[in-house]
Amino acid sequence: MKNITTTAGEALGSHQDSLTAGVRGPLLMQDYALIEKLAHQNRERIPERTMHAKGSGAHGTLTITHDISRYTKADIFSEVGKETPLFLRFSTVAGERGAADAERDVRGFAIKLYTQEGNWDLVGNNTPIFFVADPYKFPDFAHTQKRDPRTNMRSSTAMWDFWSLTPESLHQITILFSDRGLPISYRHMHGFGSHTYSFINKNNKRTWVKFHFKTQQGIKNMTNEEGNKIIANDRESSQKDLYESIENKDFPKWDFKIQIMSEEQANNHKDNPFDLTKVWSQKEYPLIDVGILELNKNPNNYFNEVEQVSFSPSNVIPGIALSPDKMLQARGFAYPDAQRYRVGTHYEALPINRPICEVNTYHKDGSMSFEDINKKAGIIYEPNSFDGAKEDSQYLEPSYALEGNAARYDRSLENDHFYQARDLFNLMDDSQKNQLFSNIAAAMDGVPSEIIKKQLALFEQISSNYAAGVKMALE
């Protein structure tokens, strides 16, 4: 028989009754087993993510099917047939942990690839763009998606007020309220890295790259009415679909593709190629096949794996780097900082986050400090005269040119926020346009008329038919 113990290993003589002063007496503070049990329960839930709180995840592999080594020296792409283990977390963006899976929302598509050169975290969404391009605006956007502090309810007014004053959001709004804004499951949607990243090849030449994951299951979406029927009976519809498909060995797959842009092309591109509210034309920069992503194993413990998995766009590997994308650069700080607060200082030492390669840092102490983090206790600084880990110049990234004065630039003065949303709108058939109008009108219920007028004026700059369609749906 195994003895039940405290977390320090002390065997307990009783696990049924608290220590009290007499049969009817009060509790005694010296009942440390009780205190430990209650204190642990208080900490069984880590703070939920500010965004992407509701999620599902699975393990899988990325298999390389095409040679792209001319663009990047990353070992993950070094040979056709190479397999890399990964963990993918899907999520809804705005809702809390208790939100329903079938709500209209952007979906997160975050991948942690465990490579021999370190973890590569590709943290994206099911849309190739986002609502804002400057991180200065992101906390404000996030507040519009959360609960009003006075009513403790989601506020359509806050949402549309912000959007009506932020024209760069129009492209993402058009996607969110289109038929693709409500996927039937995580398996039936595309994924995107969204940001522009760097590829660096063995000759230290840089190109810019965007990442795409095209579902092999086909795109399938729902109307608001269909989603509401599902929510009435099942708030975990996407979780159930993903879990059961993998358990039944119907492993979901995505085709992994990239777009490539040279530094010269970027310098002459009509838009800022690092603007997160814009896509690159696939006619100008066609998709290039890379590999296949497959999910083939469910988590053994949801909390340990799906809740504690911690992503950051700053986790890159040699041959992959960041770019001047402002949102990407800010996320490179904000994500690991959020994980240190949410999970703990040494969150990357947890099994779900731990790299499969050797890790050598000079980080010291802090919460969750495992005994093997600082292997050589006496060497906690660098440079040192001992056998401590040292830098290697072969991992330096090539430079790229910067120009201009340090200032807070108003990007709207030279930025067309309307043409890509117009291109998307013109691609829609009549049925898709009517869904768009109806979905927007439903989301505007209760919004003050002056805010609706401002938003209609923005739609008018996309297309008079766009504005007229929404206006008619509102009547």
The span from the CA of 316 to the CA of 120, in Å, is 5
Question: In the chain, what is the greatest distance between 2 CA atoms, to the nearest angstrom?
Answer: 83
Residue 222 CA to residue 206 CA, distance in Å, equals: 41
Q: What ranges in 269-387 are assigned the alpha helix state H? A: 302, 326-342
Cβ neighbours for 37, distance < 8 A, ≥ 6 positions apart: none
Question: What are the catalytic residues?
Answer: 52, 125
Q: Within 10 A of 412 (CB to CB), how many other CB atoms are there? A: 11
Six-digit token pair at 227?
């989603």
Q: Give me the residues paired with residue 288 across strands.
A: 258
Q: Which amino acid is at 233?
A: N
Measured between alpha carbons, how far is residue 414 from residues 122, 164, 417, 452, 463 in Å? 30, 19, 10, 25, 20
Contact by Cβ (8 Å): 257, 288: yes
